[in-house]
Amino acid sequence: MVSHKLPELFAPGEVQLLASSGKPLVLGYSVYSYVRRSDSRPDQFTYNNSRSSDPVSGFDVQLPRFWLLAIDQLMERAESEDKEVLENGVMLEYMHELSFEGSDYKFLVSKFPVKSEGFEFLFSTFRNVTFYLDCVDEIGSRKVLFSLVAENMTDVFCVVGTDARLAFMSASIKNLTGYNAEEISCIPLSNILTPDSFSRLVKTWEDLRQPDFGIRKQLFEIEFIRDDHEKRWAEVTAASFAGPDGHILGVHALIRDISERKAMQEELRSSLEREIELSNVKSKYISTISHEFRTPLSIIYSNLQLLENHRFELDADTINDAFELSRMAVKSLLRVLDKVTVIDAVKKGKLEFKPALTDLKLLCSSLVKELNEMEMVPDRIDLLIGQMPDEIWVDESLFSHIFTNLLLNALKFSDKKSRVKFEVYMISPGLAGFAITDHGIGIPEDEMSYIFEPFYRASNSKHARGSGLGLAVVGDCLKLHRGEISFESKTGIGSIFKVVLPVAGEAGIQG
Ligand code: ADP
């Protein structure tokens, strides 16, 4: 049940309000009274100081000096006033004002005629209402002020009793959540908070409403779901508040939408992470590439030295070998550069898919010829081409990146004496299939899912040189060519990589 008003903080007979410090202030009035029988003098004088919050010590015979003066003045007029009230049987009430030591006081004088058991009495009270009246004014203006603030603020202010009942919720809740106060009080909190935020709120609530721990304050963040299903973040400043006797009455909370701030923080955090990842990738790049460059460069260097220092003593075969080794080392350098260039071009969106009508048989045979010549032990690739149209749509450059890397891996990760099979066939008129089979070291099962990641090299492949970039290039180029790759492998037995490429007319494969 929602009360759209602040909880009633004022106990009857006294005035209580929250002072600006947040501490409850108990205000009230003091009363001096007497009773007079119609035929006698006043008697049964009492003084009650109801300003005290402790009712037992509220009775105080020690009257303040301004009170003594007020009583003097009022008793002077009492004789005639009392007589008039008793005779007319009509109540008399007026305000008596008094200046004392620079302060102004107001006393409410009330005289009631009372008839009982044949006797006529008069009951007279003098109440010091100076402070009370001031406070009534103040409370009036504070209430108005509070409503103005509560109803116009963009943050949400709410008060919840220790029994978890919502006592007040500012109208701004509608802006924050899309629900008004009435609606939100009917929805279980677990429905509008994410599970983490809900358990944080429950924990905080239990902590705040503990009666034994005094006033507590908590600042925390919650993620909530608006009525339009949008998830947003809020910062909550919640504090418990107590009544005059120190008992915790409930919790008030200020709720602020911090989604934009959170999004900015998140953006900053992820760009920082990206920056760190980028710098890690860069340094890995540099160390891998420099490592990949070192071996071929030292091969070239040592062969140049050999030729320079011993050119007149060397026989023709040794000179040819020196040139051949250097040529292969240069080729291997170019291959590394090629991979780096492709990856860089893909990242920058500069590598495009440009299919053209191609004689696939010719393309495959020249690629195989080139690779067969490249290796120390030549002619290890067997090319098997099935029935094929004369021309199909292929991007030659992407094609060559894909199959050079796959075939070189098959050669590199298998024994120099074993053969590699390269099968090319049509799956359907618009779809070409390729399979590369080797009888090499295979890929460990638990590492299979990582081999297409840049720089990843399986634990059993360290003996063979490599950068871990070849399959990343294959993946990038296949994506551009809209092809697919799959593989099967068994350590110690070998691997088969299968590729499917769409090769239909230009319109058929451009998307
Ligand atoms: P590189 O060959 O330069 O190491 P790749 O990206 O081409 O890098 O390959 C990543 C890893 O995948 C290789 O290091 C190797 O562990 C594994 N791999 C790829 N092809 C084969 C294959 N045919 N046989 C065994 N392992 C392979």
Give yes or no for residue 410 CB within 6 A of ligand 1.
Answer: yes
Kindly state the average pLDDT of the residues 347-371.
91
228 and 279 share one domain: no
Atom from ligand 1 closest to the CA of residue 452: 6
> Which is more confidently placed, 443 or 248?
443
Span 40-61, mean pLDDT? 58
Q: Which residue has the tokens 């299903």?
A: 229
CA of 379 to the centre of ligand 1 (A): 21
Do 136 and 278 lie in one domain? The reply is: no
| φ and ψ at residue 442, rounded to 5 degrees | 75, 175
Q: What is the pLDDT of residue 44?
A: 77
In the reported structure, the alpha carbon of residue 458 is separated from the centroid of ligand 1 by a whole-number distance in angstroms of 7
- Given the structure tokens 């983490």, which residue do they identify? 196
For ligand 1, whether the C-beta of 30 sits within 6 Å is no
Does 380 share its domain with 326?
no
Site to substitute for ligand 1 among 295, 457, 467, 491, most atoms within 8 A of C-beta:
457
Q: Is 402 in the pocket of ligand 1 (CB under 6 A)?
A: no
Q: What angle do CA 192, 193, 197 make, to 5 degrees?
A: 170
**What is the 3-class SS of 438-481, one letter each residue?**
ECCCCCCHHHHHHCCCCCCCCHHHCCCCCCCCHHHHHHHHHHHH
- Tell me the percentage of the chain whose pLDDT exceeds 70: 85
pLDDT, tens digit (0-9, with 9 covering 90-100), for 124-155: 888 887 766 665 565 566 666 677 777 778 88
Inform me whether the pLDDT recorded for 244 exceeds 70.
no
State the distance from the centre of ligand 1 to the C-alpha of 350, rounded, in angstroms: 26
Asked whether residue 345 falls in the same domain as residue 404, the answer is no
Both 325 and 459 in one domain: the answer is no
- At 140 the pLDDT is 62
- The Cα–Cα gap between 121 and 40 comes to 10
Q: Is the CB of 494 under 6 A from ligand 1?
A: no
* Among protein residues, the one whose CA lies closest to atom 23 of ligand 1: 410
The type of residue at 351 is L
- How far is the centre of ligand 1, averaged over its atoms, from the C-alpha of 296 (Å)? 19
Phi, psi torsion values for 459, nearest 5 degrees: -65, -25
Say what the pLDDT of residue 472 is.
92
Does ligand 1 have an atom closer than 6 angstroms to the CB of 440? yes
Q: Give me the pLDDT at residue 407, please.
A: 95
pLDDT at 54: 39
pLDDT tens column, 97-121:
999 888 888 888 989 888 777 778 8
Asked whether residue 1 is assigned to any structural domain, the reply reads no
Same domain membership, residue 212 and residue 139: yes
Residue 3 included in any domain = no
pLDDT of residue 490: 96
**Tell me, what's the pLDDT at 216?**
83
Query: Closest by alpha carbon to 429, among 384, 481, 393, 477?
Result: 393
Does residue 494 lie within any of the structural domains?
Answer: yes
339 is a domain residue: yes
- pLDDT at position 255: 94
Give the best-scoring range by mean pLDDT among 86-90, 156-160, 226-230.
226-230
**Beta strands per DSSP E along 101-230:** 103-116, 119-128, 156-161, 166-169, 217-225
Please report whether residue 467 resides in a domain: yes
The tens digit of pLDDT for each residue in 6-50 reads: 333 333 333 333 333 333 333 445 778 888 888 788 887 777 664
Q: What pLDDT, on a 0 to 100 scale, did the predictor assign at position 29?
A: 57
In this structure, the answer to whether residues 220 and 113 fall within a common structural domain is: yes
Secondary structure E strands in 65-183: 92-100, 103-116, 119-128, 156-161, 166-169
Task: Determine the structural domain holding residue 184 and report its residue range.
Answer: 8-259
The verdict on 80 and 185 lying in the same domain is yes
Q: Which of 411, 443, 495, 498 to mutate to test the pocket of ligand 1 (most atoms within 8 A of CB)?
A: 443
CA 76 from centroid of its chain's CA atoms: 75
- Residue 148 sits in a domain of what CATH number? 3.30.450.20
Q: Which residues pair with 25 in a beta bridge?
A: 17
**Is residue 144 situated within a structural domain?**
yes
CATH of the domain at 424: 3.30.565.10
User: Is residue 324 classed as helix, strand or coil in its secondary structure?
Assistant: helix
Confidence of residue 350 (pLDDT cuts 50, 70, 90): confident
Of 463, 379, 478, 451, residue with least CA distance to 422? 379
Ligand 1 atom closest to Cα of 442? Answer: 25
Residue 238 CB: number of other CB atoms within 10 A?
Answer: 21
The DSSP symbol for 20 reads T
Atom of ligand 1 nearest to the CA of 466: 3
CA angle 100-14-209, nearest 5°?
A: 130
* pLDDT for the residue 70: 92
What is the mean pLDDT of the segment spanning 223-227?
A: 95
Distance CA 76, CA 98 (A): 14
Residues above pLDDT 90, as percent of the chain: 39
Interval 465-479 mean pLDDT: 91
pTM: 0.51
Q: State in Å: Cα 156 to ligand 1 middle.
A: 59
Q: What is the pLDDT at residue 133?
A: 62
Q: Where a domain ends, among 241, 259, 277?
A: 259
Residues near 217 by Cβ (< 8 Å), separated by ≥ 6?
237, 238, 239, 240
Residue 2 lies in a domain: no
Asked if the structure places residue 33 within a domain, the reply is yes
Can you tell me the mean pLDDT for 81-92?
89
Domain count, the chain: 3
Tokens standing for 407? 């075939």
What is the residue with the minimal CA distance to atom 19 of ligand 1? Answer: 409
* Domain finish residue from 259, 292, 317: 259
Same domain (yes/no): 216, 72: yes
Residue 457 CB–ligand 1 contact under 6 Å: yes
Same domain, 49 and 182: yes
Residues 96 and 24 in one domain: yes
pLDDT tens digits, 69-78: 999 999 999 9
Tell me the per-residue pLDDT of 307-324, one tens digit each, with 9 for 90 and over: 888 888 888 889 998 998
CATH of the domain at 275: 1.10.287.130
397 vs 386: CA distance, rounded Å: 22
Q: Do 224 and 312 belong to one domain?
A: no
Q: Which of 349, 384, 401 is the last residue of a domain?
A: 349
Tokens representing 78? Answer: 């009492």
Instruction: Report whether 243 contacts 23 (CB < 8 A).
Output: no
Distances (CA, A) of 486 to 419, 489, 491: 21, 10, 17
CB under 8 A, 24+ apart: contacts of 49-57: 50/13, 50/14, 51/14, 51/26, 51/27, 51/131, 53/26, 53/244
